[in-house]
Structure 1
Amino acid sequence: MAGIFEVSSVTAMVLSIVIAYFLGNISPSTLLAKAAGKDIKKEGSGNAGTTNALRVLGKKAAVITLVIDIGKGFLAVKVGFLLAGPMAAMYCALAAFIGHIWPVLFQFKGGKGVAVAFGAILGVNWQLALLALAIVAVTVLLTRMVSMGSVIAAISFPVLAWLLERDFFWIGCVMAVIMLYAHRSNIGRILRGEENKLSFKKK
Structure 2
Amino acid sequence: MNQLLAALLGLLLGSIPFGLILTRAAGLGDIRAIGSGNIGATNVLRTGNKKLAAGTLALDFLKGAAAVLLAAALLGPETAGIAAVAAVLGHCHPPWLAFRGGKGVATALGVFLALAWPVFLAAALTWLAMAKLVKISSASALTGLAVAVVVAALWGGWPLFWPVALITAYVYARHHANIRRLIAGTEPRIGQGK
The alignment's TM-score, normalised by the length of structure 1, stands at 0.87
Q: Is the counterpart of residue 46 in structure 1 residue 6 in structure 2? A: no
DSSP 3-state at the match of 1:56: coil
Q: Is the counterpart of residue 159 in structure 1 residue 142 in structure 2? A: no
Alpha-carbon distance between aligned partners in 2 of 1:172 and 1:132, rounded to the nearest angstrom = 11
Which structure has more RCO (C-alpha within 8 Å, separation ≥ 6)? 2
Map 1:59-74 → 2, pairs under 5 A: 59-74=50-65
1:19 equivalent among 6, 9, 15: 9
Alpha-carbon distance between aligned partners in 2 of 1:198 and 1:33, rounded to the nearest angstrom = 19
Alpha-carbon distance between aligned partners in 2 of 1:54 and 1:158, rounded to the nearest angstrom = 27
Q: Is the counterpart of residue 56 in structure 1 residue 47 in structure 2? A: yes
Deviations 1:33-79 (A, max 9, x none): 33325111111121111111121261221122111111101100011
Alpha-carbon distance between aligned partners in 2 of 1:134 and 1:63, rounded to the nearest angstrom = 17
The CA deviation at 1:32 is 2.2
1:128 equivalent among 102, 119, 124: 119
Deviations 1:8-28 (A, max 9, x none): xxx222112201111000011
Alpha-carbon distance between aligned partners in 2 of 1:80 and 1:18, rounded to the nearest angstrom = 10
Alpha-carbon distance between aligned partners in 1 of 2:177 and 2:42, rounded to the nearest angstrom = 15
Partner of 1:146: 137
DSSP 3-state at the match of 2:120: helix
- Alpha carbon RMSD of aligned pairs, Å? 1.6
Amino acid at match of 2:17: S
Structure 1: runs of 5 or more not aligned:
1-10
- Verify the 8 A CA contact 1:20 1:79 in the aligned structure 2: no
Alpha-carbon distance between aligned partners in 2 of 1:162 and 1:80, rounded to the nearest angstrom = 22
Partner of 2:171: 179
Alpha-carbon distance between aligned partners in 2 of 1:144 and 1:91, rounded to the nearest angstrom = 33
- Verify the 8 A CA contact 1:97 1:117 in the aligned structure 2: yes
Structure 1 segments, 4+ long, off by >3 Å, are: none
The CA deviation at 1:91 is 1.1
Identity level (%):
33
Kindly tell me the number of residue pairs found equivalent between the two proteins. 189
The alignment's TM-score, normalised by the length of structure 2, stands at 0.91
